[in-house]
Structure 1
Amino acid sequence: MRDRKYAILGTGALGGFYGARLQKAGLDTHFLLKSDYQHVNEYGLFIESKEGDFTLTQVNAYHDVEKMPQCDVVVVALKTTQNYLLPKLLPPVVKENGVVLVLQNGLGIEEEVAQIVGNVTVIGGLCFLCSNKVGPGHIHHIDYGEIILGEYTSEYSPAGITENMQLLSDDFKSAGISIELTEDLLLGRWKKLVWNIPYNGLSVILNATTDKLMADQYTHRLIAQLMYEVVLGANSMGRNIPDSFVQKMLDYTLQMKPYRTSMKIDYDECRPLEIEAIFGNPLRKAQAAGADLPQISCVYHQLKFLDAQNQREG
């Protein structure tokens, strides 16, 4: 596996961090960049991390996917608002019988990828990472970094622990990245939404970082209510999330360093928000299964309004 080529589509806070770690571990890694291409091509990538800073002075950087080599593993680390580009980006760079690793938030993403490229394995990765891009080619890793891997199957039926998951796990672990494997990707996606829905949504609507949301009794209560609605949504699709997991996510966030969520950063930078992947898709799937999620629906509609206003004014 170590002689396999990796392509990183989206060299931002997430793709830049994980891709740099893979290259530092000796894996053949190729990066697709947009605005940072010139800088990274000349100066490389700088990772400022709680686990130790490092610089990659030589980076395989590309501005055009057609110039990238075909790779065994293609890591999709774009924002889901850019997924309309995937039909152009994926076919040239992924080898037949290769792997597409989707490191994105939300629900239903793997289905879209599977429709674009045939004869590949699609694996979803749920990233528990506090990381920001703070300048051209400069990634600031604040905390955490674990990835949960699960293989996609038609209708999201549980795939078990597959060989491809094990091989990816070995590579990422060699790069010092903590990996957990899940037999059920759909359950993993819903569990990630237990955190993503309340904190991403409320951070934008209430203009607050995670620590401020947790410090106030009213927002703390609202966060818990939203989390339990996510649990209801998961139940409607036959996936059980125990109450103890909700408490675990609340405790986990209390222990986090103050964090401005990725959606809040996008909002502050006047970039389109990942509303459909994180809120719209789960809402529609749960509603189709007969579940009513009124508070998540309320957050969804508020975000749609704020995003539209922000895009017009930005």
Structure 2
Amino acid sequence: MKSVLLIGTGGVGTIAGLSLTLGGQANVTAVVRSAYDRVICEGYKISSPDHGNHSGWRPYRVVRTIDEAVNSETPVVYDYVVVSLKALPDVYCIEEMITPAVKLSHTTIVLIQNGIGIEEPLKKAYPYNVVLSGVSMIGCQNVGAVVSQFEKDRLIVGAFLPESAPEATNQSAHAIAKEFTEIYGTQFAEYTENITFYRWRKLVYNATINPICALTLLDTGRCHLSGLSKNLTFPAMQEVIAIAAAHNHIFPDDIADSMLSSDDGLYYRPSMMLDVVYNRPFELEAILGNTIKAAQSKGISCPTLSLLYTLLKGVLWRVKETQGMVQAPEEGVKWAAYS
């Protein structure tokens, strides 16, 4: 039985914990913060077309903090640390956060997060541990420990391998990635040797539809109705596709149409839009910032993505101000200091 620490119990994380548990090969300890008391008293209420309906479900253990997960009466050595928090490097440092739970050369770190280029800081911090990268294609949400899944659970998993890694290390990492998909359930998880391809593929949606819905506060259906999808989202997708191609990731010709039709029949509000609505920090750097850096590294112009990024930096500053994370000086601001 594998020991798994789950950090991040939103919709994606909770469904991951459920799948890992139902597979019968893992004991899952979940770090639950805001909903801790409710989960302890009532458990989760889950509606899932893949994993069934559950009332009062709890993982093997529920804890408030990572320190509590590690420093129990019987200390636990975790085989896997699964991180399904939002990728917010300007809010918290995941590599520092998970330190108490990572045993040198033993614990595998699994990142189920959005964006591109998110694995490097973890591999730099833990060069002797395997880092797996997971791209989740699920649609779900967790509101007060009530989890609703409305799109199929599909998790694509691969090993993050630096170019300098020895072949023996690579083979071991691939084997561990395959093992994790088996623990998760191969009907829901699949292994790939090219996880970066799937990260770029998801960015065709996440770096375009997500930001545009967040800026306009229009759901996907209303973006179609207003003409935004045709006149702004589609051209932005072409920029992502070109950047991916420059990094040797080639997609089918119809990928933009496929992504734009993925929410057909729904007035879907993407996660970044909901973050803005509820005044929460969102994954700007992981999704858009790193995409633009990847373009710059290949000398590619991406004016639409750059404009979206700049506008969203302003929105994020406003969110941070309301959260007390940044503060405008009382004496006012002079342009010369920022020109």
TM-score normalized by structure 2? 0.83
Larger radius of gyration: 2
Asked if the contact 2:40–2:62 (Cα under 8 Å) also holds between the matched residues in 1, the reply is yes
Alignment CA distance shift 1:156-1:108 (3 Å): farther
Q: Which residue of 1 aligns with 2:130?
A: 121
Distance in 2 between residues matched to 1:11 and 1:218, nearest whole Å: 33
Cα 1:118–1:55 change in 2 (3 A) is farther
Aligned to 1:186: 196
Q: Could you tell me how far 1:47 is from its partner in structure 2?
A: 1.2
CA distance in 2, matches of 1:253, 1:280: 25
- Aligned ranges for residues 148-227 of structure 1 at < 5 Å? 148-155=156-163, 162-173=174-185, 178-227=188-237
Task: Identify which of 6, 9, 13 aligns with 1:8.
Answer: 6
Distance 1:231 1:293 in 2: 11
Which residue does the alignment assign to 1:64?
Answer: 65
Q: Distance in 2 between matches of 1:304 and 1:155?
A: 32
Question: Which residue does 2:82 correspond to in 1?
Answer: 75
Give structure 2 stretches of 5+ with no counterpart: 70-75, 324-339
Give the superposition deviation at 1:242: 2.9
Q: State the AA in 2 paired with 1:200.
A: N
TM-superposed deviation, 1:58: 4.1
Tell me the distance in 1 between the aligned counterparts of 2:137 and 2:95. Answer: 27
What SS does structure 2 have at the residue aligned with 1:162? helix
SS in structure 2 of the partner of residue 154 of structure 1: coil
* Residues 107 and 282 in structure 1, CA contact (< 8 A), matched pair in contact too: yes
Instruction: Give 3-state SS (helix, strand or coil) of 1:35's partner.
Output: coil
Aligned residues: 308
CA-CA distance at 1:134 after TM superposition: 1.4
TM superposition shift of 1:56:
4.4
Give 5+ residue unaligned stretches, structure 1: none
Give yes or no for contact 1:127–1:146 (8 Å, CA) kept in 2.
yes
1:32 is matched by which residue type in structure 2? V
Following superposition, the deviation at residue 103 of structure 1 comes to: 0.4
1:240 partner amino acid: I
Partner of 2:312: 303
109-118 vs 190-199, greater mean Cα deviation: 109-118
Aligned mates of 2:174, 2:281 — CA distance in 1: 35
Q: How many angstroms does 1:37 deviate by?
A: 1.6
Q: How many angstroms does 1:207 deviate by?
A: 0.8
SS in 2 for 1:258: coil
- Counterparts of 1:276-287 in structure 2, within 5 Å, are 276-287=285-296
Deviation at 1:313, TM superposition (A): 4.1
TM-score (norm 1): 0.90
